[in-house]
Chain A
Amino acid sequence: MADLTTNFAGVVSPNPFWLASAPPTNSAYQINKAFEYGWGGAVWKTIGDPVLNVCNRYGQFEYGHRRLIAINNVELISDRPIEVNLKEIREVKKLWPDRAVVVSAMVSSNEAAWRKVVQQIEDAGADAIELNYGCPHGMSERGMGAAVGQVPEYCEMITGWVTAAASIPVIVKLTPNVTNIIPPAHAAVNAGADGISLINTINSITGVDLDSLEIFPNVGGKGSHGGYAGPAARPIALHMLSQVASDPKVAASGIPISGMGGIETWRDAAEFLVLGSTSMQVCTAVMHYGFRIIHELCDGLSNWLDEKGAGAISEFVGKSVPRIGHFGDFDLSFKTVAVIDEEKCIQCNLCYVACDEGAHQCIDLTKDGVRVDPETYSGAELLQPKVREEDCVGCDLCSLVCPVDDCITMEERPRERDSFTWNELVRTRPEVTTDWDAMVAFRREVGIEIH
C-alpha cells in the first residue's frame, strides 16, 4: 500500500484528505468523528467576527435524479462564539496530535484584529492558519472574504500582517470569482504565504421555483448569490489549480497547494494531485454522504498509486503539470479520426445526429453499406452509422455522445505533414495568421482540406 503521508508546508497528516472549512468542520463533535473515520486533517470552519445566520442556507443543483451535483450556500462563518471554537480546537488537537488541524480565519481588515486572531489560533495549538479570502456572500459585503481576495493589493497587505505575526504556516485561500487567479496567487507569494489553497466557492444562483417564482436558496421569499461547490464545479477548480500550479512564480516559490472544488471520489482527488495539489480538501461530498467516504478515498487512491508503482503519494504531486500547454504550442498536424466498432454499436444513432447537426457532417447512416437518408427511410431494419474518415475532422463529439463503452474511439492517424504550431506560424509566416487569402494559400500548400 502506497504511503499517503502528506507534508504540507511542514504540516504532516497521515493522508492528503482534509475536510474543507465548511459546515462539516463546525465543531469538535464533527471533527472528532471525522478523525475517527480516518480523515487526515480538517480546516476548522472560519472563525472571526460575530454573525447571524439565515434559513434556508443552501440551494442545490441537481441533474435529473442526481442530487446535489453541486450545492450553494449563504451560510456565514462560524456563528459560535470565538472562545467556544478556540476551546474546542485546543481539545481536538490534544486528542489528535497526528492530524492536521488548520484553522480558517476572517476578521475585519485591520492589522490589530488580524494579529489578535493569529495569536488566539496559535495559542489553541493549531497546526496552520488558512486565510479565508473567498467567501462570496454575507462577509464580502462587510469588506471581508472575497472582497479581499478579489483585490490583490488587499490580499498581499493582509497576508503580510498575518505572516509577520504568525509562527505557524499561513495558507491563503483564493476565490475563483476573479477573471484571473494569478494576481491574487502572486500576492500570496509576495506576502510570504507558506501555502495556497483553492478554490473557494463560486458566485451562483441554483435555480428558480417555477410555482412561486422565488429563487434558491430562498430566505423568506428573497434570494441572493451563494457560494457554489460540488462535483459540477470541479472542471473550473481543476482549471484554476492548473493555472496556479503551472505559474513560474508560484513554482519558483516552492509553496504547496491544497486543492479543492468538487472532490467526491479518489479519482477526483487523483486529478487534483497530478495537477499540483499536495493536499486535497473535501466538503460537498461529506455534506451529501457523510464522513464514511474517507475509507474509499484513501483505499482507491492508494490502489491507484500502487498500480502506478508509486511508493509515496508525494511522487505524484504535479505529475501532469508539464502537460499543461498553450493553444499556440499545440501540434496542428496531430490527427485523429472517429472509428465505430460495428460489433459493439447498438444503432442508437446519437453519433449520427450529433455529427450531422452539431458538428461536421461526417457520419452517414447506412443499410448494407449504402448511405440512406433517415428522413425518408421507412424500413424496419436498423441503420448503421459509418464515419466517412476522409471528412472526419477528429472533433471527438461522436465518441462523447456514444453510450456504449469503447464503441467509438478516436484513433490516431499518421501526420500528413511535419509538426507545426500556431506560434511557429506567427513567427515564420505571420501573414498566414492575419490574412485569409494567405491562409487559403498556405492550406493548399501543405495539403490541408477543410470541407
Chain B
Amino acid sequence: MEHHKLSLDQLQDSFSEIHPRYTPNEAIVEAERCLYCFDAPCIKACPTSIDIPTFIRQIANDNLTGAGTTILESNMMGHTCGRVCPVEELCVGACVLGREHRPIAIGRLQRYATDHIFENDIQPFDLVADTGKRVAIIGAGPAGLSTAGELAKRGIRATVFEKQELAGGLSTYGIVVLREPTNVALEEVGFVEKLGVTVRTGVEVGRDVLPEDLLREYDAVVLAAGTGRVPPLGVPGEELEGVVEALPMIAATKLADKDGTEALTRIRVGNEVIVVGAGNTAIDAATVAKRLGAERVTMLYRRGREEMSAYDHEVAFVRAEGVDIRLLTQPVEVLGEGGKVTGVRCVRMRLGDPDASGRRRPEPIPGSEFVLPADQVIKAIGQEKLVALYDAVGVEHASGYVRTDGELRTSNPKVFAAGDCVRATGQALTVTAAEDGKIAARAIARQLGVAEPVPARDDTRGRFLHATVNEFGRIHG
C-alpha cells in the first residue's frame, strides 16, 4: 500500500497553499473595489464582527499594520480565519456586490493583512499590567488560544494545557496544508504567547495534571478541549489493516509541512480509497488521499446532499479533485484477505421520516448490497466527545456537549467552556471558537472583577449622537 507513484516535487506541489498571497497591486485593486458600505452586512455576517470595510480601506490606504490590527482586535485567530473561514457562507456571502456576482475576496484580503503583521513580528496590542488573576485553559486549539489572548488583553494570565506535542489544535493538526500551512498555526500560537500566555504542551489534564488541582490553584478554568477520536464504524472488519482515522492522516501531512516534506513520501495511502463520512474532515481526508497519489477516492454518505454538513464550495472543490461522492450509501462490512482491506460491502439507502435531529432518517433498501473494492478505508464520521473530562471538572453536559449559558458559564461556577465541546448546534468553525474566546474572557473578567480593556481605537461613534440629538440623530425638525 506504500505509494511510490508521486515524486517529492509532485507531492510538494500538491501540499502547498492553494491561493498564493496577493501581490501588493492585487491587494489594492481588490481592496478598492470595496464600497465601504455603511452598516455593512459583512460585519454582521462575521461571527467575530470584524470591521471588514475598515480593514479593507486600510489596505487600500497602504496601512497594513492598521488593517491587521483591526482584524486581530476582533478575532485573535484572524490569521487562521483569513484562510479557513467558509467565507462564502459568512462575510463574502453577505457582500452586497455578490448581487453583481463578484463579491469582495474578504478572506484573501484578511490574509494579506495578517501576513504583514506576522511576518514583520508586529505586536498590535499593548501589554497589560498583570492583575494577579490566573486562569487554566484545557486545550490549545483556537477556542483556548482565543480565550487566553483575550484574557491577556485584560491583564489576566492564562496557562494553556495541551496534550499534543504542538499547540494550535485543528489549525496545527487538522486543516489541510492546502488551506493553512502548519507554520501559520504555529505563528498564531507564538503571537498569543507574546501577550503573556503560557502554553504547556505535552501535558494532558487527567494524566499529567489533575483537574482538581487546576480548580484549586486557578481563579477559573476553561474547558476548550475540542473533541476526541473518531468513533468505531461498528461494522465487521473494522480491525483490518488499512482501516484508518481521518485526522491522524491529515495530521501527518501537517507535520510534514513543518518538519520536511520528504515525510510526505512515508505516509501510507491506498490506490482505491474509501472515505466514510461527508463532513469537513471527510472532505479534507479525501483531498489528502487524492493528493498523496490515490488512484480513486470515493466518499460514502448514508444520507443525501442536503443533509451533508460540507459546504457547497467544499463539495465543488473535492469533486474537481476527482473524488467521487456516493450519497445514500452505507458501509455494512469491511472485507479483507490476509488481514488486509480488500473492499467495502455497502447497502443503498433511502430517506424516510425525519429523526430526532430533524433530518430524514436513512433506511437500507433491502437487497441492494454491493461491494466497492478498496485497499484503504478512512473513517471520518465525527469525533467522540470527551465526556470523562467534563465529569472530571464537574460540569453538566448533554448529548456529549458541555451545557453553558449565553456567556459560556458551565454548571460549575468556576468553569467556563468554549469551542467545539459546547457546539451542540451550528457549525463548529475556527471563527466561532474565536468568538467563544471573547465571550468567555469577558465573562471571566467580570466574574473576577477585572475591568474591560480600552479598545486600541476609542470608538466614540454613537456616544455623541445619543447624548445630544434627537431620536434619529437628526438635527433638523
Contacts and interface: CB of A to CB of B under 8 A. Distances in A.
A204 interface: no
Interface in B206-244: none
Q: How large is the interface on B (under 10, 10 to 19, 20 to 34, 35 or more residues)?
A: 20 to 34
A227 to B, nearest CB: 27
A365 B465 CA distance: 16
Contact of A65 (B28, B39, B474): B28
Given A348-B40, A349-B38, A375-B462, 7 more contacts: A346-B99, A356-B474, A364-B472, A371-B472, A373-B473, A382-B96, A403-B35
A348 B37 contact: yes
B245 to A, nearest CB: 38
Interface in A352-366: 352-353, 356, 361, 364-365
Given A65-B28, A353-B38, A375 B474 contact: no
B36 interface: yes
B472 A382 contact: no
25 contacts: A64-B32, A64-B60, A65-B32, A346-B99, A346-B100, A349-B37, A349-B38, A349-B39, A350-B35, A350-B38, A352-B38, A361-B474, A361-B476, A365-B39, A373-B472, A373-B473, A374-B39, A375-B461, A375-B462, A375-B466, A377-B39, A380-B44, A403-B35, A404-B100, A451-B477
B39 A383 contact: yes
Contact of B473 (A65, A348, A375): A375
Instruction: Report which residue of B39, B60, B465 has the largest number of chain A beta carbons within 10 angstroms of its beta carbon.
Output: B39
Interface string B10-40: 0000000000000001001100100111111
Contacts of B472: 364, 371, 373
Contacts of B47: none
Interface in B53-96: 60, 96
Contacts of B473: 356, 373, 375
B471 interface: yes
B41 interface: yes
A434 B88 CA distance: 61
Interface string B408-424: 00000000000000000
Interface in B97-115: 97, 99-100
A347 B477 contact: no
Interface string A63-80: 011000000000000000
Contacts of B477: 451
Interface in B418-477: 461-462, 465-466, 471-477
Instruction: Report which residue of A348, A353, A377 has the largest number of chain B beta carbons within 10 angstroms of its beta carbon.
Output: A348
Given A65-B29, A353-B38, A373 B471 contact: yes
Contact of A347 (B36, B41, B461): B41
B96 A347 contact: yes
B477 to A, nearest CB: 7
A375 B60 CA distance: 26
Interface string A393-405: 0000000000110
Contacts of A380: 44
Contacts of A371: 472
A349 B41 CA distance: 10
A382 B465 contact: no
A319 to B, nearest CB: 35
Contacts of A404: 100
A353 B100 CA distance: 22
A346 B40 CA distance: 11
B423 to A, nearest CB: 20
A64 B56 CA distance: 13
B175 to A, nearest CB: 28
Given A375-B466, A403-B35, A346 B96 contact: yes
Contacts of A365: 39
B37 A375 contact: no
Nearest to A379: B44
Nearest to A64: B32
A405 B476 CA distance: 31
Instruction: Report which residue of A64, A377, A380 has the largest number of chain B beta carbons within 10 angstroms of its beta carbon.
Output: A64
Nearest to B461: A375
Contacts of B41: 347, 382
